Copies of this chain bind each other. A is one copy, B any other.
Amino acid sequence: MRIAVDAMGGDNAPFEIVKGCVQACERVDDQIILVGKEALVRAELEKYEGLYEPGHITVVNADDVIHGDDSPVQAVRRKPGSSMVVAIDMVRNGKADAILSAGNTGALMVAGLMHLGRIPGVERPAIVSPLPNIGGSGFSIIVDAGANAECKATNLLGFARMGSIYMKDAFGREEPTVGLINIGTEETKGTEMLKEAHKLLKDSGLNFVGNVEARDISSGAADVLVCDGFTGNIVLKLAEGVAWDIMKTIKQTITEDTVSKVAGLLLKKKLGGLKNKLDYSVYGGAPILGLKGAVFKMHGSSTASAVENAVVRASVATSAGFMEAIEEAMKGEAVE
């Protein structure tokens, strides 16, 4: 496999991006292609000379950069020489099998739609995000995590099909359970759209376990959580915020006086373990499923280790053939 990485996207580019790719070399055999300002990227790479095999990482020059605050459509149109668009085009031209970027999410989606297009049968590409569930199997994935604020029932069926394939190919969970995020477990609950989606999922042949109430999400009620992108965004960010605030309060608690500090030291390793459980970057980047090409979004503030994990997961999923499986699964779907 050949994995193109946008070396210039995100808050910590190119430093952490390059470092993460070097680290990933120890875990994957794939060719890693760093796309960005060549002099800058090579200067970063030199820091790690001897730490990776020459030839494992190559560099492709791209003079321009799409910034976080650029308007997505304009940026993609006006910056064909940007690292993100050049990397996307490598996938389109068969020069790479997957592309990763920590840059502007909207621009990545637009570049994917404009330069790669949708897989036949896919109404709406969706972003998948891992979501830690400390009370359950470790983590679930959520589709859509924010690309489509409003959805039709058939969109959700597509998300469920694609998400199930990704869960299997990226993480080895055979026949992953699929749950529909809703305000009650009964199939008569929620909006008309959700009632219809429930029916479609029931007849889908997927391992559908029914509606999942928000209170059961963090205990791992389903492997693949399906919802519109508005709900997905709310769920991901709220879970992150609540966990963060609780951990912050605990940290304050175990540092505010001597007795508490002693207790904190005794629990240090374990609380660290809990913190790690809440870190979703260990599960890799967020694929945009439904595009004619394997596109992965990394968090804008990705550290080297998050980049490393994203490269590894992209490699695993792509090698397992998740793109081909999605094409096959979506063939029969009618698109309006």
The residue from B190, B244, B248 contacting A230, defined by CB atoms under 8 A apart: B190
What mask results when residues 256 to 297 of chain A are scored 1 for a CB within 8 Å of chain B, else 0? 000110111011001100100100000000000000000000
Is A78 in contact with chain B by the CB < 8 A criterion? no
What mask results when residues 143 to 155 of chain A are scored 1 for a CB within 8 Å of chain B, else 0? 0001001100000
Identical chains bound together, number: 2
Interface pair B214/A245, CB less than 8 Å apart: no
Q: What size tier do the contact residues of chain A reach?
A: 35 or more
State the main secondary structure of chain A at its contact with B: helix
Interface pair B149/A191, CB less than 8 Å apart: yes
Interface pair B263/A237, CB less than 8 Å apart: no
Is A134 in contact with chain B by the CB < 8 A criterion? yes
Interface pair A239/B237, CB less than 8 Å apart: no
The residue from B149, B231, B271 contacting A253, defined by CB atoms under 8 A apart: B271
Query: In residues 196-236 of chain A, which contact B (Cβ within 8 Å)?
Result: 213-219, 229-231, 233-236
Nearest-neighbor residue (CB-CB) of A278 within chain B: B246
Interface pair A233/B183, CB less than 8 Å apart: yes
Q: How many Å lie between the Cα of A218 and that of B237 in the bound state? A: 10
Give, as a whole number of angstroms, the nearest-CB distance from A227 to chain B. Answer: 9
Is A1 in contact with chain B by the CB < 8 A criterion? no
Chain B residues with CB under 8 Å of A247's CB are: 246
Q: How many Å lie between the Cα of A254 and that of B263 in the bound state? A: 10
A interface residues with partner B (beta carbon < 8 Å): 133-135, 146, 149-150, 181, 183, 190-191, 213-219, 229-231, 233-250, 253-254, 259-260, 262-264, 266-267, 270-271, 274, 277
- Give 9 closest A-B pairs by Cβ, nearest first: A214-B237, A263-B266, A214-B238, A215-B237, A215-B241, A135-B245, A263-B263, A183-B233, A214-B234
